[in-house]
Amino acid sequence: MPNISRDEVAHLARLARLAVTEDELDTFAGQLDVILQSVARVGEVAAEDIPPTSHAVPLTNVFREDLVRPGLTQQQALAGAPAAEDGRFRVPRILGEEA
C-alpha cells in the first residue's frame, strides 16, 4: 500500500519549485495518498502479460520530413515574455544551480 510521507511531499514540492506550507504538506500527503492507492488497485489486477499503457492510440512511427517550416520572429517569440533583454528571455538569477 502506498503511503506517502510529509518528507516526500516536501521533496516533490522542492523539485517542482512550489512553496508549500506545513499545513499543506499534510493536506497534500493525504490527497496524494488517495491517488496512489487508487493506482495501486489498478496494479493489483494488472496481469504479467499486460504491458502498462502509455499511449491510448495504437500508433507507431509517426514522422515528419526534415523540412524547415517558418516559425516565430524574435519579436513574436518574446511577446509573451515577462521580461526580455537583447533579444533574449530575461529570467531572475538562478541560485545554487548550474546547467
List residues binding another protein (CB under 8 A): 15-17, 54-55, 57, 59-69, 71-74, 77-78, 80, 85-94, 96-99
Taking the least distance from each CB to another protein, the nearer of 47 and 87 is 87
Q: Of 23 and 76, which CB lies nearer to another protein in the complex structure?
A: 76
CB of 93 to another protein, least distance (A): 5
Grid cell listed for 98: 548550474
d(CA 92, CA 77): 19
CA 6/CA 27 separation, integer angstroms? 9
Work out the end-to-end distance of the chain between its first and last CA atoms, rounded to an integer number of angstroms.
Answer: 37
Angle (nearest 5°) at CA 28 between 55 and 91: 75
